[in-house]
């Protein structure tokens, strides 16, 4: 897997993105193709290609991703009604960028988690 992704460039602010949060561990920004009224991506600042590649040394960044999701959900006004956080892994899981990322989606009723269509 490559050491460079589009997300790496967003973290370094080399390409434009609406960054909502950034610290030494994670970066959060609005998805360019939102699937809900609120759709934010939260990523670790160091490259982890898939959830299969997570190591125990990554736990602090992954924990920060969850706490940042809760903070951003509160700021977006979706915390009380509810929201979904999603991480995809590899092709069958729907992963498109091989730099793990959490989708924070909400702002309306999201329906069942998985489609019944196969």
Catalytic residues: 101
Beta bridge partners of 105: 39, 84
Residue 47 DSSP class: -
Other residues' Cβ atoms within 10 Å of the Cβ of residue 7: 22
Largest CA distance in the chain: 41
């Amino acid at each position: 897997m490559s050491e460079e992704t589009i997300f790496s460039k967003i973290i370094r602010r080399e390409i434009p993105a609406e960054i909502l949060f950034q610290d030494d561990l994670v970066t959060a920004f609005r998805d360019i193709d939102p699937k809900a009224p609120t759709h934010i991506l939260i990523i670790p600042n160091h490259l982890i290609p898939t959830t299969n590649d997570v190591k125990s040394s990554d736990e602090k960044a992954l924990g920060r991703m969850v706490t940042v999701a809760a903070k951003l959900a509160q700021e977006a006004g979706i915390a009380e009604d509810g929201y979904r956080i999603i991480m995809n892994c590899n092709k069958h899981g729907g992963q498109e960028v091989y730099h793990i990322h959490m989708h924070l989606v909400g702002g309306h009723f999201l329906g069942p988690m998985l489609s019944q269509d196969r």
